[in-house]
Structure 1
Amino acid sequence: MFTGTQTTTTRPTLYFGSTGEDVEYLQRWLNAAGFGSLVVDGIFGVATQEAVKKFQKYYGLTVDGIVGPQSWGTLEWIDLEGSIY
C-alpha cells in the first residue's frame, strides 16, 4: 500500500472514453513504469484502463480504472521521487 505524501493536482479525472494530452501523459507514464505497452494516442481505451487498474492494485489504491485525485497524487509523487525515469 502506498503511504507517501501525495501532492495536490489540477489534472482532470480520466476514465474510459477520455481523450487529450492528459491521457497521453498518463499513457507515457504507465509505459515507463512498466504497467503496459500502450500506444500513446491520447485515447483512454480498454488497454489504458487495464494498465491503470494494474497501477492502482500495485500501489494499494481503489481499483476502479478511474484516474482521480488519489491516483494522480500517487502517480505525481512517484514522478517527484524520480523512481520511473
Structure 2
Amino acid sequence: MIKIPIEELLKKSKNNRFLLTILVAKRAAKIMEKQGIEGNISLLTREVDPVSQAIEDILADKSLIKPSTRDLSLPLSSDE
C-alpha cells in the first residue's frame, strides 16, 4: 500500500477533493495512454502504477501552485 500525502495534494487542489479526484484521474489516464494500456492487463503486471505516478506528477508540478490572495499585495516587479 502506498502512502498518499493527502495534505500536500489538497493544497495543490485548493482543498477541493472533487478537483483533486479529477486531477489524479486525468493524469493517470494520460499515463495509461502513454503506456499503451489495454483493458485486459492487470495493474500488477504494469511497470508503473498509473495512480501512484499521477500523484507523484501532481506533487511535482509547480504550475498547480496558485498564489494566495495575500501574495497579490506584493509588487509584481522589482522596480516598484
Q: TM-score, normalised by structure 1?
A: 0.33
TM-score normalized with structure 2 length:
0.34
Structure number having the greater helix percentage: 2
Q: Which has the larger radius of gyration?
A: 2
